[in-house]
Amino acid sequence: AMAGKGNYRHFMEKEIHEQPEAIAHTLHAVLDSGTGAATIPAPLDAATIPKITIVAAGTSYYAGLTGRYWLESLAGIATEVELASEFRDRDAVLPEGGVTIAVSQSGESLDTLMALRRAKALGQKTLAIVNVPESTIAREADGVLLTRAGPEFGVASTKATTAQLTAFCSLAVALGRKHGRLSEERAAELRRALAGVPGRVGEVLQREAQYQRVARELAHSRDVLYLGRGLSYPIALEGALKLKEITYIHAEGYAAGEMKHGPIALIDEKMPVVVLAPSDGWFEKTASNVAEVRARGGRVILLTDAAGAERLAEKDDHVMILPDVEPVVAPILYAVPVQLLAYYAAVEKGTDADQPRNLAKSVTVE
Ligand code: G6P
């Protein structure tokens, strides 16, 4: 039986608010209670891993893109991310001993299942990162890493996404430690940062009224551009996907550095540009893109932290300040305001966020 919506208008709203618990439960399940380190599921526990290939669809694909940044930078493992629908029918060349990770909330997306089977046929060991333990993808993979978001009903994934991000980040820290890429001190610092994420997400949710206000404006736009760099790039893609899925507003996510190769031509005062810019190693470069948008009369909606706001704010911009966090875990936090913007824009437009037209919760047919 389907759980109720409680006091919420939509499952999506309820599930957005369940994220502190979804993240905390996922962390709890992944981390060893004794050592605080993440347990590394088979087949990722192998002595050497020549390459990880992540396959997924939709929002889970964007979680995979973020996963790649962590697996490369924290664990030093060569990683590629593939759309399941492409990978399943491509002649991918994969190294012996490589591991394919299938990421799926439902564990039932047909393309992701077919990509998993294809990886197996190509001799890869496989891991499933899924939210439904008894799902087909979980059953067919060699190993399983469960996210603990609980049942998700809103068609646009929210809590399952931040749970996937949490799982990837903890896993990358554990692998980084195991392969000697991270010192114990740095790993402990990152584990503490992860443990703090549920609380920081709670703080974002307490300030949701500001996102609601900006969403009312977004709802009347024809096009919206989302920009991010590095770890924020996949979240920009995710933000654009969420908006188009539930409001039917055309939105594009772009790597900030690619703006000059196309989207800059579109910028005028009518197109809001949502910029994801935590104070991290990419901040300066993203700041220069913000200046370029402003110079062309674009309207910037800036998601940043207190330090970033101080450096970038102009009084005509919308500046939304997020809590300060260790930059490595920032994507988990910044995924939340883009959900809120999309959700409240849908409420403003009167579209049904839980049942957007033409979309299904999981796509199990061709
Ligand atoms: C559908 C849903 C998306 C989801 C995607 C992948 O398109 O509408 O919200 O991200 O499927 O689903 P999965 O269950 O494999 O994560």
pLDDT tier, 313 (very low <50, low <70, confident <90, very high otherwise): confident
Indicate if ligand 1 lies below 6 Å from the C-beta of 110: no
What's the mean pLDDT in 38-60? 95
Q: What is the ipTM of this complex?
A: 0.97
Q: Decide: 301 and 273 in contact? Cβ < 8 Å.
A: yes
How many percent of the chain have pLDDT more than 90?
A: 86
Is 60 exceeded by the pLDDT of residue 2? no
Kindly report the average pLDDT of the chain as a whole number: 94
Cis peptide before 272 (omega within 30 of 0): no
Indicate if ligand 1 lies below 6 Å from the C-beta of 147: no
pTM for the model:
0.97
pLDDT tier, 33 (very low <50, low <70, confident <90, very high otherwise): low
pLDDT tier, 263 (very low <50, low <70, confident <90, very high otherwise): confident
- Give backbone dihedrals phi and psi of 11, rounded to 5 degrees, phi first: -60, -40
pLDDT tier, 1 (very low <50, low <70, confident <90, very high otherwise): very low
Q: Which residue numbers are catalytic? A: 361
| Dist. CA 309–CA 330, nearest whole Å | 15
- Candidate of 157, 246, 359 to mutate for ligand 1, largest count of ligand atoms within 8 Å of Cβ: 157
Per-residue burial over 183-194, b if 16 or more Cβ lie within 10 Å, else e, is eeeebeebbebb
- In order, the DSSP letters of 306-344 are HHHHHHH--TTSEEEEEPP--GGGHHHHHHHHHHHHHHH
Lowest-confidence region among 27-41, 67-81, 131-145, 308-322? 27-41
- Residue type at 22? A
Is 90 exceeded by the pLDDT of residue 51? yes
| Dist. CA 228–CA 19, nearest whole Å | 22
Is 80 exceeded by the pLDDT of residue 98? yes
Indicate if ligand 1 lies below 6 Å from the C-beta of 109: yes
Q: Which atom of ligand 1 is nearest to the CA of 359?
A: 8
What are the tens digits of pLDDT across the range 9-24?
999 999 999 999 999 9
Q: Which pair of structure tokens corresponds to residue 25?
A: 């439960």
